[in-house]
Structure 1
C-alpha cells in the first residue's frame, strides 16, 4: 500500500521528536551532545547511529506506523559546510539514516507495514539561525531554493526504501513554490510521493507573514502538472504550538470551502510545550501540559481530512502512545 493510499484508508500515527529526544538522552557535557549545534541529530547519526535506531524503536513500540528519518539538518550544503563532505559522502549519510529506520522496523515490527519518510528540512535549517521560524532567508530566488533541495530530492526519489518524502518546517511561501516546481521536474518519472508541512507564525499566517489562506489557495487552485497532482499527497504543519493546530486546520478547510473544492489532506505534528528564545538558539525550554495533549489530539481527529498525526519538538514515546490510542478509537 502506498503512503497516499494509507492516508485515505484511515488515520495513521507518525513518530515524535528525534533531536529533542537526543537532547534529553545525552548529557550536555557529553561529546555527543547535540543542543544548539548546526547538525543537530545528524551529528549522532554520523557518530553513533544506533542511538537513532533506538529512538525509532521506541516510537514503533508505542504505536507509530511512520518513521521520519533523522535528516532535518543534513542537506548537501550543510554537510559540506560543517563536515567538509563530498556529494558521495553526503549520500552515505542519507543512506545511513534510512538504514536506521529500516533496522528499527526489523527489530520491532518485521511483519507490519511501516512507512519510512525521508526528511528534507527547510533552507532555514542550513542557515542555522532560527530562520525556519521566521522565513527570513535574505535575497534568495525560487530557482536557488530549487537547487538547494535538488540533490536530496533526487536521492530519495530514486530510493526503493523511501515510501514518501517530507519537506518539513517550511516557513516561506517562495520555498513552497520552489518545492512544487522542483517536484514537477524531479518526480515526473519515478512518481515518488511527498508532502509539505509548514512552519507558522500563528494559526493564520505562515512564518514569513504570508496569510495561510494565500498558501492554501495556491495549493488548491494552481494548475499543477499531473506529476504534482499525483505525488503531492498532503500538507499540514509541524514545529508549531499544539494549541494552534485546530485553528490551523479550520483555516485550511475554510479556504477549501471558499473555493468550492475538496479540502486538503492534512498531516499535523506540532510541538509539545517547546519555547525557543531566538536570540540564542541553544537556549530553549519545554513546558509540558500532558492533560491538554490528549484533548488536542481528540479535537484534531474530529476533522475528517486530518489523516496523519504525530509529534515534533519535545514529544516522546508517551505522547505518541496517546496519539495511537486516540487514533485507534476514531478509526473504528
Structure 2
C-alpha cells in the first residue's frame, strides 16, 4: 500500500488544491479553446509550475496535474501529434514534481506531505461544449477505452502517486475507466469523482447507485463529487455516505455560475465564502477537500486552516 493510500485508509484528512485555469488567467494566460489550461503546457509551463507551488504554500497536500484536457484527441484537434500529446502529459507531471521538490527545499522542517495526482477528465470535456455538466453523450466501451487509455498509461509511467478520475458525468464512462484501472493497471490507486447535481449525476443517474456500483473496487481509495454547485455538495456527500463506507472527496466550484451561452461567469451572490461550507462537508464525511473552478490558493489556505484546527481539537491540543 502506497503512502497516500495508507494515510487515507487511516482516516487522515487531506487538502486538495484548487482551480488551475483561474490562476493562469490571473497571470495573463489566455485559455486555449480546445486544450483549456493544458494549452499552458505548450506556451507557459513555468506559470503552471508557479500555480502548483502557490497551492503548496497555502497548505495543499495533493496537486492535480494539468492534464484534464490533455488527451491525444484534444491535442490532435489543436494541431499536435500523438507523441507531442504524450510529451505534454509527461511535462505536466514533471512540473508538479518540480513544484513539490522546490517546496520541500524551501521548507525542510515542514511536515506537510505532498502527493501528485494524474488528472483524467471525461470525454465530455473534449467536446468543449459543457457536456461534462450534462452527460448527454454516449460512446461504446471500446471508444471510451481508446479515448482514455493512453493518457492513463503515460501518467502512470510518469510516476504520479494517484489518479484523479474526475468530473465524470455518466456511469458507463466511469465503468470503463474503472475497468482500465483494475485490469490494465492493478495496484495503482485512484479516486473517482462525479459531476453531480445534488444527489444525482448530471446524466440523471442516481449518485447512491454510483456509490454502490464502485464501493467494492479496492483500487478506488475515495469516491466523491467535483466541479458542481457549492451549495449542492453536502447533499451529494450525504447520498454517497448513505450508500458507501468509502472515504469521500469533495471539490466543488466556488459558487460562481458559468453561462454557456454567454461564455462568462456570474459572481456568487449568496454572500457565503468557500470556507463557510467546509465544516459541513467534514461533518458529512468528506476526508479530502479542495476546490474546482474559480477557487483560489486563498480558498485552499482556508480549507487547510480548518482541517488543521480540527486535527488539534481531535488530539486534544486545543479546545
TM-score (norm 1): 0.87
> Residues 47-196 of structure 1 correspond to what in structure 2 (within 5 A)?
47-86=43-82, 88-110=83-105, 111=108, 112-137=112-137, 139-160=138-159, 162-188=160-186, 191-196=187-192
Give the conservation status (yes or no) of the 8 Å contact 2:22–2:293: yes
- For structure 1, the 5+ residue unaligned runs are 27-31, 222-228, 257-262
Give the conservation status (yes or no) of the 8 Å contact 1:193–1:233: yes
One of 257, 261, 276 as aligned partner of 2:258: 276
Q: Alpha-carbon deviations, 1:127-156, whole Å to 9, x = none? A: 11110000111x411221122111011122
Q: CA deviation at 1:278?
A: 2.3
Give the conservation status (yes or no) of the 8 Å contact 1:153–1:186: no
**Structure 1's 288 and 17: CA in aligned 2 closer, same or farther, altered over 3 A?**
farther
Q: Alpha-carbon deviations, 1:43-67, whole Å to 9, x = none? A: 1111110101111111111111110
User: How many aligned positions are there?
Assistant: 305
Give the conservation status (yes or no) of the 8 Å contact 1:146–1:181: no
Hey, what's the Cα distance between the residues in 2 that align with 1:300 and 1:246? 6
> Residues 312-331 of structure 1 correspond to what in structure 2 (within 5 A)?
312-331=292-311
* SS of equivalent residue, structure 2 residue 223: strand
**Structure 1's 288 and 73: CA in aligned 2 closer, same or farther, altered over 3 A?**
farther
One of 209, 212, 224 as aligned partner of 1:214: 209
Q: Kindly report structure 1 stretches of 4+ aligned residues shifted beyond 4 Å.
A: 288-291
Hey, what's the Cα distance between the residues in 1 that align with 2:199 and 2:231? 13
Q: Alpha-carbon deviations, 1:283-316, whole Å to 9, x = none? A: 223326674422210111123x421100111100
Hey, what's the Cα distance between the residues in 1 that align with 2:296 and 2:77? 30
Q: Structure 1 residues 285-294 or 59-68, which shifts more?
A: 285-294
- Work out whether 1:255 is the aligned partner of 2:243: yes
Q: CA deviation at 1:211?
A: 1.4
One of 296, 300, 321 as aligned partner of 2:277: 296
Hey, what's the Cα distance between the residues in 1 that align with 2:16 and 2:269? 20
Hey, what's the Cα distance between the residues in 2 that align with 1:58 and 1:192? 27
Give the conservation status (yes or no) of the 8 Å contact 2:181–2:188: no
Hey, what's the Cα distance between the residues in 1 that align with 2:220 and 2:243? 18
Hey, what's the Cα distance between the residues in 2 that align with 1:322 and 1:2? 25
- In structure 2, the partner of 1:234 is 222
Q: Alpha-carbon deviations, 1:206-245, whole Å to 9, x = none? A: 0111111221121236xxxxxxx33211110110111111
Q: CA deviation at 1:157?
A: 2.4
RMSD (Å) for aligned C-alpha atoms: 1.7
- In structure 1, the partner of 2:4 is 3
- Work out whether 1:33 is the aligned partner of 2:30: yes
TM-score (norm 2): 0.90
